Amino acid sequence: MLTYLIILLDDTSASYCHYETSQKERRLIGLDDLKAGIMFAMKENLNIQFVYPGYELPAEYLEVIDSVDHTDIKPSGHSDGADVVVLNGWDDEVPEGTTCVIHSSRQELAEHLPVLTSWLGRVARLNIVLTDVETFTDTAIASYKQTLEAIADGVVEKYKAGKAVQLNLLTDRLMLTAMNNCGAGDTTVTLAPDGRFYLCPAFYYEDERQNVGDLTSGLDIKNPQLLRLDHAPICRVCDAYNCRRCIWMNRRLTQDANTPSHQQCVVAHLERNASRYLQMKLSDAGIQLNGSRLIEEMEELDPFNIVNRWK
C-alpha cells in the first residue's frame, strides 16, 4: 500500500540513494505541479518527502511546501531545518543530532573508519550508501567483512560510553523481524520535476520514458505485484531484512525488477552477518538492546543458491 510520496523539487536535487544527479542542470518543478502533487498526496493519505537542490527556492515554493506536513531532505551546506542531510563526502561537517546520508565506495569507507566513528557520536542516525556494489567481486568479501567488523567494534565502544547508535549497515538488522526495504513502487512513489510519477528518482534520471503516470491521468503502475516481496523468489526466502531491495539496481544488473544481483545479495548478507557480530559483541559487553532479536548464524551469502537447491 502506498504510504510515501517523494517530490524531487529540481533536477539537481540531492541524491539520497544509489542514483547520480551530478551531471544534471537546474530544472525546478512547476509551481502548479508542486501544488497538484501535494493535493495528490493529501487525498491519497501519503507522507511527503521533499528533496531539495543546493540553492534557495523561491518564496512561493517555500510557502506551498510549508502548507503540508512533510519531511525535508537537503544537501549539506543548504540544510537549515532539514530532517535528513545528504553529506558532501567524508570531509564534510556533520550537524549534531541529525539524520545524515553519505555516499561512499567500500575503499573510501575502509579508509575513513575514524571519521565514521566520530560521526556516530554526533548524528542521530547515519545511512551509508555504497556506490560500488555493482563492482563487488567475491574476492572483496573478506575485506568488506573486515571493514564491517571494525565499524561494529567502534559501535560497541559508543554503547559502552552510553551513546545509542543508529547505522543502517549494522544496527537496523538488530531490531528487524521482517523485510524493511525501500518499497519503490509499492509503498513509495516519486513525483519528478517533469510532473510525472516514477517508481523512484533513479528511474527518472535514467530515462523519462520510464514514468508510471502523471498528475493529470494519475498513477499507472503495471505489474505492481512484481514490486512486492511475495513475488520476488529470492528475496521472500531471505532474512537479510536490512537489505534495501533496490529495484532499480535489480533492473540494471539482472534486467528484472524482482530479482537482485549476486553482488547485492552478498553485500546484504555480509552486513547481516556483521550485525550478528555486533550483537554478540554487545552481549559480551553486557549490553542488551530492547527489542533486539537473535540473528542466526549463516554461511550462505547468496539466497539464490538456497532457492536453486530447492529446485
Partner 1 sequence: MAKSITFIVTKDCQLACKYCYLVGKNTKERMSWEVAKEAIDYILEREQEFNEESVIWDFIGGEPFLEIELIDKICDYLKMEMYRRGHHWFDSYRFSFSTNGINYHTEKVQRFIEKNHNHLSVGITIDGTKRKHDLNRVWKKQDPPPTSPCKGREKLPIDGKHRADTIYSPPSQGGAGGESERGSYDDVVRNIPLWLEQFPGAATKVTISSPDIPYIKESVLHLYSLGIKEVNINCVFEDVWHEGDDKAFEQQLTELADEIIDNDLFRDHACSFYSEHIGKPMDREKDNQNWCGAGKMLAIDATGNFYPCTRFAAYSLRSKPAWIIGNIHDGIDQNKLRPFLTLDRTTQSKPECIDCEVASGCAWCQGENYDAADTHTVFQRSTVICRMHKARVRANNYYWNKLFRKLELEGRREEYEKQKSKVKETTC
- Nearest residue (CB) to partner 1, 38 versus 234: 234
CB of residue 225 vs partner 1: minimum separation in angstroms?
A: 9
What angle, rounded to 10 degrees, do the helices at 303-310 and 262-284 form?
A: 110
Contacts of 134 (CB under 8 A, 6+ apart): 249, 252, 253, 261, 263
User: For residue 99, what is the enclosing H or E element?
Assistant: strand 99-104
Side-chain half-sphere CA neighbours of 228 within 13 A:
9
- Nearest residue (CB) to partner 1, 155 versus 240: 240
Is 274 within 8 Å of 170 (Cβ atoms)?
yes
- Nearest residue (CB) to partner 1, 237 versus 287: 237
CB of residue 263 vs partner 1: minimum separation in angstroms?
A: 8
CB of residue 209 vs partner 1: minimum separation in angstroms?
A: 11
Query: Which cell goes with 133?
Result: 556494489
CB of residue 187 vs partner 1: minimum separation in angstroms?
A: 18
CB of residue 226 vs partner 1: minimum separation in angstroms?
A: 6
- Nearest residue (CB) to partner 1, 43 versus 209: 209
- Nearest residue (CB) to partner 1, 111 versus 220: 220
Binding site for partner 1 (CB under 8 A): 222-223, 226, 231, 233-234, 251, 253-263, 304, 307-308, 311
CA distance linking residue 53 with residue 27, whole number of Å: 10
